[in-house]
Chains A and B, each alone.
Chain A
Amino acid sequence: MSAGTNDSTNDVSNRALSNLDLETPEKPYLDSNELIINMGPQHPATHGVLRVILKLDGEKVLGTECVIGYLHRGVEKIAENRTYTMFNPYVDRMDYVAAVSNGLGYCEAVEKLMNVEAPARAKYIRVILTELNRIASHQLWLGTHALDIGAMTPLFYTFRDREEILKIFEKYCGARLTTHAFRIGGCQYETYAGFEKDVKNFLTFFAPKIDEYEALLTTNRIWMERTKNVGVISGADCIALGVTGPVLRASGVQWDLRKAQPYAAYSEFDFEIPTGTNGDTYDRYLVRMAEMRQSLRIVEQAVNGIPEGPIMGKVPKVIKPPVGEIYHSIEAPKGELGYFIVSDGSTQPYRLRVRPPSFVNLQALDIMVRGLLVADVVAVIGTLDIVLGEVDR
């Protein structure tokens, strides 16, 4: 298919245009009604370097094509040349917003491969930090999503409240964003003096804040008009595409890995899985707000009962897993985050494949935006909650 008018040197966009199934128009602007718009890699609303090519009929979207790879750093290839312990910090940089979850998934996958188990105290610490990170990730999502739709103020409120969580992380492991909090076999750092007090203070501090966010948005007529029936996807479509996380749960499917395949002490806690009914943007918003409340519940139960004991399991100094392969997945804030590790018995993995939730969820963008107006595309990208770091790795 000759695409002589547009980028003929750019192979990717040629393939993209051919995927959109159209003849190359002669004058793709005011003459015909169909036009191709590029939401380029630099755009205030694509949450990272994502390029979305939209095919429009006037104002309605007929189809999209996402061009990714602008943030590809070759993480999986790097893994083949690092030892398991050396690779731990790389994992944070994939979904940099929810770095603790990434670390949890990786450490648990290697532990499963080596057939060791983290002690109970380490599991509780892991759960507390991971759930706090879930809240932080959802707060960032809420602020940026509201900003895309036009409400400027929730961004500042969520970032201000997120600071408390980041302060706890900094006191615990020295870093706010890319925490490298866990090690294979447990945790490296003992909780600092005052950790429980800080977490409990955060719980009392944060519960009314969710009400504050909801008061601004949930019953706001303009918010509801912008998000209801926008970007609808059915539960069957989600399962067919492999979409997981709040997107799946808002479409009515009650599937959460913390309940379905419990890991890291989640089986000891009592919490609910919020689901939606319509699978539109409004339901995804409600599901994530409810998830924040459930995370508060989990953290409360965990911090009130951290068992005593060692924080590191019986792990040899040099980590050499036996020959074999494993796939282990956890419920990251954005969906199912999975690690597939093939070990050939050496200190470096033979192959490490990451199943990022945002990468799989991004497929749903095409289905969700068909028939919507251009202004809604921005809202739908925001509601999928993608982080390009893990889409591209």
Chain B
Amino acid sequence: MPNFIMSYLGSTVTPGEAGNQFWALMYVLIIFAGVSVAVICMNWIERKALAHFQVRLGPMRVGPHGLLQPIADALKLMLKEDIIPAEADQFVFWVAPLIGLLTAFTVYTVIPFGPSQAVSDMNIGILFMLGVSSLGVLGIVVAGWASNSHYPLIGALRSSAQMVSYEVAMGLAVVSAILMTSLNEKGTGTLSMIGIVQAQQQQGVWFIFKFFPLGLIAFVIFAIAMIAETNRAPFDLAEAESELTAGYHTEYSGLRWSLFMLAEYAAMIAVSSIAVTLWLGGWMRPFPNLLRAPAWDFIFSLFPGLTFLGLAAITFLGVARMPAHSFFKIQRIGLAVFAALLGFLALLLLVIAIAGRSADTSLAARFREGIDYVYWFVFKVAVFMYLFIWYRATWPRYRFDQLMRVGWKVLLPISLGVLMVTAIVGVIVS
């Protein structure tokens, strides 16, 4: 058994490529669990961060500082009455949230958390991701239609028209990033996600800084388009409460509605992962070239442990600041246990970082490398998640015709221009 695990850890390819079904399945299960946990955390962070932006506290009662609120919400939604409109098409009504959910989760098959930490490294990885995301639109269209009601239908058609429009700009921005992968000796680029990050590693620069400002503009276009893709503010007219058309998920209640929300958050994480992989260097630590010495490697490898140490410290601070009233006894104990868990995790990560500080192929070193890769990837995606929440708190929302105008008349010409200029510059340089 330990040999089995050792032999797996020693591989340099993803389980899909190595034909290792067992490990591929393990990865799928880990990703499924991880994404679900991430969506739950994201729910809590969104409510807390929005509240703090708006000078209020957010959930505080259900669990210490509202930490158990998402679980309470999930339980409530599961136990709610399942209402299906009488005239609705039963089969389609049932299948619509599943379409959205399946496509949102299938995308995670190709997301690279590290050079061999992905379920499968398809050589059309980015194409696969774009394709499956575009299938997600179908879920929304069908959901609006299945409700058999005028307003959800209009809302669904609008949402899907918006998503389809911004997919074009997204695709063109992606293409200009892919162009940059072909600037090597062979002259051929790659569509595989791991290949794209390795191209950035090889060329020594994150694509967001490549051919400055072309990479930056392409990144910004993708960043704007991905907000519109996921129907988030400021492009969330179809879901807003104060508008007349109530949105495609009006008639869905309880568990079905929570499936839509799960699909939305999972899609947010998925498109952020695309942005991180294509432009921000994927799993690479910051400053891979400027700060190349092994000492810097060691310092950056301490970051996972230090992050959790910081979180544990903040949580202990929260425990100390809780009122010393008997009402809060259980909350104090719960929060203290949580802080202790975080601290334990931090210590574990620090021990691994220190034990594996040499760059050889010992077990500790391999563990450390794997953890580092996953940590930096998740850290960058988490920054994007925070940006999503920040945008929602700050900006008003676009009217639908203005939204479409921005997608077709502003983003599309700019992305076409960036693509052409990137191609010309790439030909000149190579």
Interface residues of A (CB under 8 A from B): 29-30, 37, 39, 44-45, 59, 146-153, 155-157, 160, 216-217, 220, 222-223, 225-226, 373-376, 378
Residue interface mask B38-71, A partner, CB < 8 A = 1: 0000000000001001111000000000000000
Q: Flag if B398 contacts A156 (CB, 8 Å).
A: no
Complex A-B: 9 CB contacts under 8 Å:
A222-B395, A222-B396, A222-B398, A225-B398, A225-B399, A225-B402, A226-B402, A374-B243, A375-B237
Question: B residues 373-408 with Cβ under 8 Å of A?
Answer: 392-402
- Please judge, given known A-B contacts A44-B242, A378-B243, whether A152 and B399 are in contact too, CB under 8 Å: no
Question: B residues 232-246 with Cβ under 8 Å of A?
Answer: 233-234, 236-237, 240-244
CB B160 to nearest CB in A, in angstroms, measures 17
Interface membership of B150, Cβ < 8 A:
yes
Q: Flag if A151 contacts B401 (CB, 8 Å).
A: no
Q: Flag if A373 contacts B399 (CB, 8 Å).
A: yes
Q: Flag if A150 contacts B234 (CB, 8 Å).
A: yes
Q: Flag if B395 contacts A156 (CB, 8 Å).
A: no
Q: Flag if B396 contacts A226 (CB, 8 Å).
A: yes
**Considering the chains assembled together, what is the distance between the CA atoms of A160 and B54 in angstroms?**
10
Among B55, B394, B399, point to the contact of A160 (Cβ < 8 A): B55
Closest to B398 in A: A222
**Considering the chains assembled together, what is the distance between the CA atoms of A44 and B397 in angstroms?**
16
Q: Interface of chain A, helix or strand or loop or mixed?
A: helix
Closest to A157 in B: B55
Q: Flag if A153 contacts B53 (CB, 8 Å).
A: yes
Closest to A379 in B: B399
Q: Flag if B242 contacts A148 (CB, 8 Å).
A: yes
- Please judge, given known A-B contacts A156-B55, A157-B55, whether A226 and B398 are in contact too, CB under 8 Å: yes
Interface residues of B (CB under 8 A from A): 50, 53-56, 150, 233-234, 236-237, 240-244, 392-402
Interface centre among B150, B237, B396 (most CB of A within 10 A): B396
Q: Flag if A150 contacts B233 (CB, 8 Å).
A: yes
Question: Besides A149-B396, A222-B397, A375-B244, 5 other CB < 8 A contacts?
Answer: A146-B396, A153-B393, A155-B54, A226-B398, A373-B399
CB B328 to nearest CB in A, in angstroms, measures 26
Residues of B within 8 A of A376 (CB): 399
Residues of B within 8 A of A225 (CB): 398-399, 402
Q: Flag if B398 contacts A39 (CB, 8 Å).
A: no
Residues of A within 8 A of B53 (CB): 153
- Please judge, given known A-B contacts A160-B55, A225-B402, A226-B398, whether A374 and B244 are in contact too, CB under 8 Å: yes
Q: Flag if B54 contacts A156 (CB, 8 Å).
A: yes
Q: Flag if B395 contacts A151 (CB, 8 Å).
A: yes
CB B254 to nearest CB in A, in angstroms, measures 23
**Considering the chains assembled together, what is the distance between the CA atoms of A150 and B236 in angstroms?**
9
Q: Flag if B394 contacts A216 (CB, 8 Å).
A: yes
Q: Flag if A220 contacts B395 (CB, 8 Å).
A: yes
CB A380 to nearest CB in B, in angstroms, measures 13
Closest to B153 in A: A30
**Considering the chains assembled together, what is the distance between the CA atoms of A157 and B150 in angstroms?**
37
CB B301 to nearest CB in A, in angstroms, measures 38
Closest to B234 in A: A222
- Please judge, given known A-B contacts A153-B53, A153-B54, whether A220 and B396 are in contact too, CB under 8 Å: yes
Closest to B395 in A: A222
**Considering the chains assembled together, what is the distance between the CA atoms of A123 and B55 in angstroms?**
37
**Considering the chains assembled together, what is the distance between the CA atoms of A226 and B395 in angstroms?**
11
Q: Flag if B56 contacts A156 (CB, 8 Å).
A: yes
Among B150, B397, B400, B401, point to the contact of A150 (Cβ < 8 A): B397
Residues of B within 8 A of A220 (CB): 395-396
Residues of A within 8 A of B150 (CB): 29-30
CB B408 to nearest CB in A, in angstroms, measures 15
**Considering the chains assembled together, what is the distance between the CA atoms of A173 and B394 in angstroms?**
37
**Considering the chains assembled together, what is the distance between the CA atoms of A225 and B397 in angstroms?**
10
Residues of A within 8 A of B241 (CB): 44
Among B237, B242, B394, B395, point to the contact of A147 (Cβ < 8 A): B242
CB B346 to nearest CB in A, in angstroms, measures 33
**Considering the chains assembled together, what is the distance between the CA atoms of A226 and B405 in angstroms?**
13
**Considering the chains assembled together, what is the distance between the CA atoms of A147 and B395 in angstroms?**
10
**Considering the chains assembled together, what is the distance between the CA atoms of A249 and B150 in angstroms?**
41
CB B42 to nearest CB in A, in angstroms, measures 18
**Considering the chains assembled together, what is the distance between the CA atoms of A393 and B233 in angstroms?**
38
CB A35 to nearest CB in B, in angstroms, measures 9
CB B40 to nearest CB in A, in angstroms, measures 23
**Considering the chains assembled together, what is the distance between the CA atoms of A313 and B168 in angstroms?**
74
**Considering the chains assembled together, what is the distance between the CA atoms of A376 and B55 in angstroms?**
28
Closest to A146 in B: B396
Residues of B within 8 A of A160 (CB): 55
**Considering the chains assembled together, what is the distance between the CA atoms of A146 and B393 in angstroms?**
12
The 7 closest A-B pairs by CB, nearest first: A150-B397, A150-B396, A156-B54, A151-B396, A45-B242, A149-B396, A375-B399
Residues of A within 8 A of B396 (CB): 146, 149-151, 217, 220, 222-223, 226
Residues of B within 8 A of A37 (CB): 244
